[in-house]
Amino acid sequence: ADKAPSAAEAKSETAQRVKIGIYFATWWALNVVFNIYNKKVLNVYPFPWLTSTLSLACGSLMMLVSWATRIAEPPKIDLEFWKVLFPVAVAHTIGHVAATVSMSKVAVSFTHIIKSGEPAFSVLVSRFLLGENFPPAVYLSLLPIIGGCGLAALTELNFNMTGFMGAMISNLAFVFRNIFSKKGMKGTSVSGMNYYACLSMLSLLILTPFAIAVEGPHLWAAGWKEAVSLVGPQFIWWVAAQSIFYHLYNQVSYMSLDQISPLTFSIGNTMKRISVIVSSIIIFHTPVQPINALGAAIAILGTFLYSQAKA
Ligand code: 3PG
- For residues 168-194, average pLDDT: 86
Q: Which atom of ligand 1 is nearest to the CA of 103?
A: 5
* Averaged pLDDT for residues 230-254: 96
Instruction: Give, using CA atoms, the residue closest to atom 6 of ligand 1.
Output: 96
Average pLDDT, the chain: 93
Share of the chain above pLDDT 90, in %: 78
pLDDT of residue 307: 87
pLDDT band at residue 4, thresholds of 50, 70 and 90?
low
222 has a pLDDT exceeding 70: yes
Angle at 129 between CA 127 and CA 130, to 5 degrees: 70
CA 126 to mean position of chain CA atoms: 20
Nearest atom within ligand 1 for CA of residue 253: 11
Query: Looking at ligand 1, which residue's alpha carbon is closest to its atom 1?
Result: 96
What is each CA distance from 212 to 97, 186, 241, in whole angstroms? 13, 35, 22
Q: CB of 245 closer than 6 A to ligand 1?
A: no
- Pinpoint the alpha helices (H) of the chain: 7-44, 48-68, 79-105, 108-115, 118-128, 136-154, 161-186, 192-214, 217-231, 235-257, 262-283, 290-310
The b/e string for 212-238 (b: 16+ C-beta within 10 A; e otherwise) is: eeebeeeeeeebbeebeeebeeebeeb
Amino acid identity, position 241: A
* Best mutation site among 50, 170, 177 for ligand 1 pocket (most ligand atoms within 8 Å of CB): 170
> For residue 267, which of 139, 148, 123, 116 has the smallest C-alpha distance?
116
Q: Give which of 6, 95, 72, 18 is closest to 259, Cα–Cα.
A: 18
User: CA nearest 167: which of 91, 116, 243?
Assistant: 116
The finding on whether 174 has its CB within 6 A of some atom of ligand 1 is yes
- Residue 57, Cβ neighbours under 10 Å: how many? 18
CA–CA separation, 113 and 145 (whole Å): 10
Ligand 1 and 247: CB distance under 6 A:
no
Q: Is the pLDDT of residue 184 over 80?
A: no
* Ligand 1 midpoint to CA 104 (Å): 13
Q: Is 96 in the pocket of ligand 1 (CB under 6 A)?
A: yes
Ligand 1 centre distance from Cα of residue 171 (Å): 9
Please state the rounded mean pLDDT for residues 79-90: 95
Give the ipTM of the model, two decimals please: 0.93
Residue 46 class from Cβ within 10 Å (0-12 exposed, 13-18 middle, 19+ buried)? middle
What is the spatial distance between Cα 308 and Cα 311, in angstroms, rounded to a whole number? 5
* Cβ atoms < 10 Å from Cβ of 289: 11
Cα 98-280-193 angle, rounded to 5 deg:
55
What is the rounded average pLDDT of the residues 272-296?
95
Q: What is the pLDDT of residue 3?
A: 58
Q: What is the pLDDT of residues 43-75, one digit of tens each?
A: 999 999 999 999 999 999 999 999 999 999 999
The pLDDT of residue 2 is 53
Given a cut of 50, whether residue 1 has pLDDT beyond it is no
